[in-house]
Amino acid sequence: MIDYEVLFKKFGKVFPAGTVLFEQGEEGGEMYVICSGSVEVTRRVRDKETVLAVLPAGEFLGEMSIINNLPRSATARVVEDAQVVVIDGRTFEAMIRGSSEIAVRLIKKLASRLDEAGRQIEVLLFRDPNSRVVHYLRQEAERTGVAAAAGIAVNLDESDLAERLGLTDSEVHTVVNRLERARLVSRTANGGFLIAEVGKLQDFLDFLEMKERYGT
């Protein structure tokens, strides 16, 4: 088991809320392990900033700039005061060589993040807010949805959708109202969504894609 307390004593720093650890597009030579607090990761797409994730204690970030020597692909900002381990490239390589547990954890995490990045990119390729919302809800219904008596429950609210999809609250609200009138989606008491039939949501997405492609 990784001893974060030992790591923090060697390489730890404390960052107050609001601190930007790194910005999208800049060069990076360090990765970060969150010991306490949380860090928000965002990416700017078409002049809109989209929240990719809010990482809690135990997560790490910034490793790709060490591995592939490319500029940062996102911006990381401390959400709540955080104790963070800061690791440079040489130390990172030594840790990987010296600990199979760290290496395996890193591989699993990278695979998970690549999968999530693929889903994010797929969603952001849709320019139409209707298609973007419908596609994301369908994805989440299949990935994290919970079976309910009247369909599949998705634990997201409209603000979550707006942040993740790079849309305004107003745009998301308008789309959800349209889906509700069509009886494809309904709002739940806790602010989430209930999808009656995922198949019908896919049919509607196909229709939207045809409309966007051919202008019909």
pLDDT tens for each residue of 34-71: 989 999 998 876 667 777 788 998 888 888 888 777 88
pLDDT of residue 165: 79
Burial class (CB in 10 A: 0-12, 13-18, 19+), 111: exposed
**Which residue from 49, 2, 4 is spatially nearest to 24, judged by alpha carbons?**
49
Least confident window among 25-34, 82-91, 138-147: 138-147
Burial class (CB in 10 A: 0-12, 13-18, 19+), 179: buried
Which of 1.20.140.10, 3.40.50.720, 2.40.30.170, 1.10.10.10 is the CATH number of 129-214? 1.10.10.10
> Coil, strand or helix: which one is 140?
helix
Query: Which architecture characterizes domain 4-124 according to CATH?
Result: Sandwich (2.60)
- Which regions of the chain carry the CATH code 1.10.10.10? 129-214
Per-residue confidence band for 214, with pLDDT thresholds at 50, 70 and 90:
low
Per-residue confidence band for 95, with pLDDT thresholds at 50, 70 and 90:
confident
The identity of residue 187, as a single letter, is R
pLDDT of residue 18: 95
- Which regions of the chain carry the CATH code 2.60.120.10? 4-124
Say what the alpha-carbon torsion angle 16, 20, 22, 24 is, to the nearest 10 degrees: 150
pTM of the model: 0.56
Per-residue confidence band for 21, with pLDDT thresholds at 50, 70 and 90:
very high
